[in-house]
Amino acid sequence: MAEDLAPYKQEFIEFMVASEVLTFGDFVTKSGRNTPYFVNTGRYRTGAQLSRLAGYYAQTITEQFGDRFDVLFGPAYKGIPLAVGIAMELARRGDRDIPFCFDRKQVKDHGEGGQLVGHQLTDGERVLIVEDVTTAGTSIRETVPKLRATARIELAGLIVSVDRMERGNGDQAALVEISETWSMPTCAIVTIEEVMQYLHRRDLGGRVVLPDEVYGRMVDYRREYGPRS
């Protein structure tokens, strides 16, 4: 039931809608799927929004990972402000002062050089990857080899804002597939199932955000692209 969702999850869903990050219509995902909804974290564009977003991530990270990580890594581009904001929020809360780093799209061959900016990874460090949304796991398959080429790190896990609960390259959900492929835990602030349950027929600011027709299209989409095992 929607009312069983933790209050911060409910707040986060409404926050995505108010920020126009979660929208409904006709879109194409990075993996080429035609989808009736889209989560575009590029629409967070103020300091206040980033601060709130980092807070939701920090709360989920604390609950799901505790102190079982040493470094935050944000893949370019959208992961960069996430890693910075979350590190600031964890420090502000007095939890831990966690180093962060992110990658360049192209290796820099002058100045300090290298592919990573920020904390320089060392052998044995446990790296927690922070992403916006994972549909088929494409970006993570590009990210992990970069990290392992830098140092003999351990993968502490992956956290995303919304789990779309879609198939990856096989029949399993992408986050499950990623978890098994790279032997690391994965989690999300909310799942699309939680989003659908909470928003269906709910009035927010004088309008129903997720009416029956759009809800039905999302059900059909999940039936087509959801996990088969």
What is the C-alpha to C-alpha distance for residues 99 and 83, in angstroms, rounded to an integer? 9
Among 108, 119, 146, 200, the active-site one is 108
Burial 125-159 (b: 16+ CB within 10 A, else e): bbbbbbbbbbbbbbbbeebbebbeebeebbbbbbb
Q: How big is the chain by its Cα radius of gyration, in Å?
A: 18
Burial annotation 179-217 (CB, 10 A radius, 16+ → b, else e): bebbebbbbbbbbbebbbbbbbebeeeeeebbeeebbeb
Q: What angle do CA 98, 105, 120 make, to 5 degrees?
A: 30
Selecting among 9, 30, 78, 110, the annotated active-site residue is 110
Return d(Cα 110, Cα 102) in angstroms, integer: 18
Q: Is 42 exposed, middle or buried (0-12, 13-18, 19+ CB in 10 A)?
A: exposed
DSSP category for residue 35: E
108 part of the active site: yes
How buried is 226 (Cβ within 10 angstroms: 0-12 exposed, 13-18 middle, 19+ buried)?
middle
Catalytic residue numbers, as ranges: 108, 110
